[in-house]
Structure 1
Amino acid sequence: MKIVRRVGASPRERGSATGQTCPDIFELSNGDFAVIGREATAELDPELPSDAARAEYERIVVISRDTLVRAKRDIPDV
């Protein structure tokens, strides 16, 4: 599995002072997506709706609204 491309604007394009440590979204060679964000599993796990679940090896990650909104144009429909 490899990173194929960034989805959306780079951190620098979104106003990061260093352009290095910000939320980011990447499309992977197998078609999945990888997300860099703030780990918030302990905080948000109790807030999950009753029809949502998380495996022990999964984490809840938060990215900024701006990161996702600016990635929208690059996310394929299918």
Structure 2
Amino acid sequence: MSQIIRRLGVAPRYRGSTNGATCPDLFELADGNFAVIGTDATDSLESQLPEDAARADYERIVVITRETLIKAKADIPDA
């Protein structure tokens, strides 16, 4: 498994999470992939996936807030 090398965007406390109960987050990994902390929405969203989308048994559909992604946008590499 790869290592987390940096957070993308700002820490959850700067997005209003004062108690840690809702803290979606994005991280860049040493292997170039990304890790996401979010709400597991697999059960409610899987049936809505487009025909050309699928997930493996070990994958989950995770939701993060719009604000989390917008705050991370400047840190996401273009290539």
Give the TM-score taking structure 1 as reference length: 0.94
Instruction: Indicate the RMSD between aligned Cα atoms, in angstroms.
Output: 1.2
Q: How does 1:31-70 map to 2 (within 5 A)?
A: 31-70=32-71
Q: Which ranges in structure 1 are unaligned for 5 or more consecutive residues?
A: none
SS at match of 2:13: coil
| 1:16, distance to aligned residue in structure 2 (A) | 1.1
Q: Do 1:40 and 1:61's aligned partners in 2 also have CA atoms closer than 8 Å? A: yes
- Alpha-carbon distance in 2 for matches of 1:47, 1:75: 27
Identity across aligned pairs (percent)?
Answer: 63
Query: Any stretches of 5+ residues in structure 2 without a counterpart?
Result: none
**TM-score, length of structure 2 as denominator length:** 0.93
State the match for 1:26 in structure 2. 27
Q: Secondary structure at the match of 2:11?
A: coil
Kindly indicate which of the two structures has a greater share of residues assigned to helix.
Answer: 2
- Structure 1 segments of 4 or more deviating over 3 A? none
Q: Secondary structure at the match of 1:34?
A: strand
